[in-house]
């Protein structure tokens, strides 16, 4: 969606989001702030369907789905991909959960369709206050577009889409986006479809996904104001984007970069590093940022970093920082409370307990 004529930085500032996200900088943004941003954009652009239209105008092939689309590389069917997506989502955010639930089929025409078995991809809110309407419509519209891009799903297999809010005056954006029955004042945000969709084979291959990811890497590199053009920097960017998808491998990244795995190893060696070392650095820095800057549960952080549980993650974090994750977070909160502004990557300056004791002895 075009924001020509609008001040995107002003939108971000009002929502409390750093403007560096416009230039490809790695920034953690809460769902609350993202939802607030979409509400601001809808208000100032005078477009009640802003979130929905933003979702359906995302570029092909997979509607800007990022890691969600890459999970298809580990699945054979739509159902398998959705199961992986729900697992990834549990680690990605605790704002709401994704659930697949069997529901009664909506009464639709032509006759006979009501006898279908139906399932709903449900966005289940965990908080007393629902996420903003714009954010949820963006998610629903994106889910519809991504599913259609993943498999050969006939429009008639999408049975209904449901919204908790009242029906808007203009329904055209909804009809164009979903092309199925619209239901408002419902209990949940959910997309209802024929259960047979779950058994459909995915229409994507690992080669297609690596090609898509290669284009994504190129796009990210072009957006960044500071990018040193080294192989190490490129692999760091790739690893950070792939964590939690099951595709963070030397082979997949090499294919996305259109070189062999052995050549990628040689190029990294020429820069005095290795693939495993780069992965470890990205894991460490991501862990620091998530522990210091967010309240994400430790289990979610561990899952996103591909650790099997909190225990091995905690051991690794203590090895990196000298702190247990909870102690590091507590120290970070004390620093945040004592300073009006903090420099980029300020959490790197947190000294481990052992170092502080040595300084006191001196």
pLDDT in tens, 108-155: 555 445 557 999 999 886 554 567 899 999 989 988 988 888 888 999
Is beta strand 189-194 parallel, antiparallel or unpaired with respect to 158-162? antiparallel
d(CA 70, CA 22): 23
pLDDT at residue 310 in the model: 92
Low-confidence residues of the chain: pLDDT under 50: 1-2, 62-63, 111-112, 128, 354-362
pLDDT at residue 356 in the model: 42
For residue 214, the tally of other CB atoms under 10 A from its CB is 16
d(CA 51, CA 37): 10
For residue 330, the tally of other CB atoms under 10 A from its CB is 12
146 touches 168 (CB < 8 A): no
Query: 150 by DSSP, 3-state: which?
Result: helix
Q: Shortest CA distance to 113 belongs to which of 162, 178, 158?
A: 158
Surface-to-core class of residue 233, CB atoms within 10 Å of its CB (0-12 exposed, 13-18 middle, 19+ buried): middle
pLDDT at residue 84 in the model: 86
pLDDT at residue 69 in the model: 76
Give the position of tokens 């090609």: 211
DSSP assigned state of 267: H
Region at 185 (left for phi over 0; alpha for psi -120 to 50; beta for the rest): left
222 touches 229 (CB < 8 A): no
**Taking the model in full, what pTM does it have?**
0.78
d(CA 119, CA 108): 15
- Domains in the chain and their CATH numbers? 6-46 (no CATH), 60-199 (no CATH), 206-355 (1.10.10.60)
Q: Which two tokens stand for residue 225?
A: 């104001």
Q: Which two tokens stand for residue 25?
A: 């900088």
Q: In the chain, what are the helix, strand and coil shares in percent, each to the nearest 5?
A: 55, 10, 35
Beta-bridged to residue 121, according to DSSP, are 100, 191
For residue 203, the tally of other CB atoms under 10 A from its CB is 14
For residue 35, the tally of other CB atoms under 10 A from its CB is 21
Q: Shortest CA distance to 78 belongs to which of 191, 172, 173?
A: 191
Describe the strand order of the beta sheet including 181-183 as a list of residue ranges.
96-103, 118-125, 189-194, 158-162, 181-183
Q: Using CA atoms in the order 303, 304, 310, 316, what is the torsion angle rounded to 10 degrees?
A: 140
CA atoms within a 13 Å half-sphere pointing along the CA-CB vector of 31: 22
User: Which string of b and e fits 308-328 if b means at least 16 CB within 10 Å?
Assistant: eebeebbebbeebbbbebebb
């Amino acid at each position: 969606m075009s924001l020509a004529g609008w001040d995107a930085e002003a939108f971000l500032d009002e929502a409390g989001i750093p403007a560096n996200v416009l230039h490809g900088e790695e920034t953690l943004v809460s769902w609350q702030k993202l939802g607030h941003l979409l509400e601001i954009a809808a208000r100032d652009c005078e477009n009640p369907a802003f979130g929905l239209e933003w979702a359906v105008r995302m570029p092909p092939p997979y509607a800007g789905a990022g890691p969600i689309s890459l999970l298809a590389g580990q699945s054979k069917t739509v159902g398998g991909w959705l199961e992986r997506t729900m697992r990834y989502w549990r680690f990605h955010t605790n704002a709401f959960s994704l659930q697949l639930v069997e529901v009664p089929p909506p009464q639709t025409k032509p006759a006979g369709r009501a006898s279908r078995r139906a399932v709903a991809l449900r966005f289940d809110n965990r908080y007393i206050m629902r996420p903003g309407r714009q954010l949820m419509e963006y998610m629903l519209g994106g889910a519809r577009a991504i599913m259609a891009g993943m498999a050969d799903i006939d429009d008639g297999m999408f049975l209904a889409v449901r919204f908790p809010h009242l029906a808007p005056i203009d329904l055209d954006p909804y009809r164009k986006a979903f092309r199925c029955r619209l239901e408002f004042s419902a209990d949940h945000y959910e997309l209802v479809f024929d259960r047979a969709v779950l058994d459909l084979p995915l229409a994507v291959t690992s080669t297609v996904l690596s090609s898509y990811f290669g284009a994504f890497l190129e796009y990210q590199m072009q957006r960044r104001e500071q990018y040193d053009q080294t192989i190490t920097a490129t692999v760091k960017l790739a690893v950070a984007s792939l964590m939690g998808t099951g595709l963070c491998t030397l082979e997949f990244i090499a294919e996305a970069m259109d070189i062999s795995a052995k050549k990628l190893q040689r190029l990294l060696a020429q820069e005095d590093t290795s693939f495993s070392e780069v992965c470890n650095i990205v894991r460490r820095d991501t862990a620091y940022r998530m522990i210091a800057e967010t309240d994400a549960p430790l289990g979610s952080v561990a899952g996103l970093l591909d650790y099997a549980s909190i225990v091995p993650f905690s051991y690794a974090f203590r090895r990196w920082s000298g702190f247990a994750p909870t102690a590091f977070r507590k120290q970070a909160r004390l620093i945040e409370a004592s300073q009006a502004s903090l420099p980029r990557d300020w959490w790197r300056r947190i000294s481990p307990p052992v170092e502080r004791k040595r300084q006191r002895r001196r």
